[in-house]
Amino acid sequence: MSNFRLDNKVAIVTGAGSGIGKSIALTFAANGAYVHVLDIQQEQAETTVREIAAQGGRAMAHHCDVSDQAAVIELANAIQAQHHIHILVNNAGIGFVGNVEKTTEADFDRLYQVNVKGVYNCLYAVVPHLKVNGGGVILNMASIVASVGIPDRFAYSMTKGAVLTMTYSVAIDYLQHNIRCNCISPARVHTAFVDAYLAKNYPGQESEMFEKLSKTQPIGRMGKPEEVADLALFLCSDAAAFITGCDYPVDGGFIKLVP
């Protein structure tokens, strides 16, 4: 199983203060990586780093607004100056519920700035370093909404469709530089975001609605952040050395099995 480890690898994980990103950071660190934990919430990033340290891993927390290109470039340069970057995980993102009529221009712009431009900014800042370092791995977090229609996800779907196609573009453009680029497309994963959404929109009915949403996946439940993290570990490890330009649904059968 040594091919699945990330010993002596340096990984940047955005949005790693909570949810899927936190699980990825913990999993990478547990498998030997030095993880740079980036999040717009500094305290959450530091909490992730403390949990990694408690498990014997190595990590550093950074405040980072991925929509701010200058700040992202400065941070990437600082990390590279400290040690070579090997892995970039573009996980930071925000959600939004609404069809086109319920999506204001401000909503649309906010989603674009974080979910699309944020990924672009990190790619723009890190790819030159990966080239200098002789290659590396990029993993983007897309969503099943990039491949199938989901009600009331107009702007969010737009952003994740962009992430999917950016993945393909980077994969083909940097083959000669030994840079692999893939993405993961989760369906519903049980994170704090889900709990907050249910508490806000269905007060007093959280358990009922949680069960209803869970059953929209054919497998009968939501995914776990750790399950996404395990796939991320594989795709960023040497075990996946022959894989690039691919999208991996982690969806409990949703894309293929829902009529």
pLDDT digits (tens, 9 = 90+) for 226-235: 999 999 999 9
**How far is it, in rounded angstroms, from Cα 20 to Cα 187?**
12
Within 13 Å and on the Cβ side, how many CA atoms surround 216? 14
> Of 156, 197, 202, 248, which one is the catalytic site residue?
156
Indicate if the alpha-carbon torsion angle 32, 33, 36, 42 is positive or negative.
negative
For the stretch 42-47, contacts whose Cβ atoms lie closer than 8 Å and that sit 24 or more positions apart, written own/partner, are: 43/17, 44/17, 44/18, 45/16, 45/17, 47/17
**How far is it, in rounded angstroms, from Cα 144 to Cα 148?**
6
pLDDT of residue 1: 61
pLDDT digits (tens, 9 = 90+) for 42-97: 999 999 999 999 999 999 999 999 999 999 999 999 999 999 999 999 999 999 99
pLDDT band (50, 70, 90) for residue 196 = confident
Predicted TM-score of the model (pTM):
0.96
Task: Give domain limits for the chain.
Answer: 2-187+224-249, 190-222
Cβ atoms of residues 185 and 156 within 8 Å: no
pLDDT of residue 57: 98
Please give the share of the chain, as a percent, with pLDDT higher than 90: 94
Q: What is the mean pLDDT of the chain?
A: 96
- Burial class of residue 157, CB neighbours in 10 A (0-12, 13-18, 19+): buried
Q: Which CATH superfamily is domain 2-187+224-249 in?
A: NAD(P)-binding Rossmann-like Domain (3.40.50.720)
- Rounded average pLDDT over 11-25: 98
pLDDT of residue 192: 86
> Is-catalytic flag, 174?
no
Backbone phi, psi, residue 119, to 5°? -65, -45
> What is the chain's Cα-based Rg?
18
pLDDT of residue 55: 97
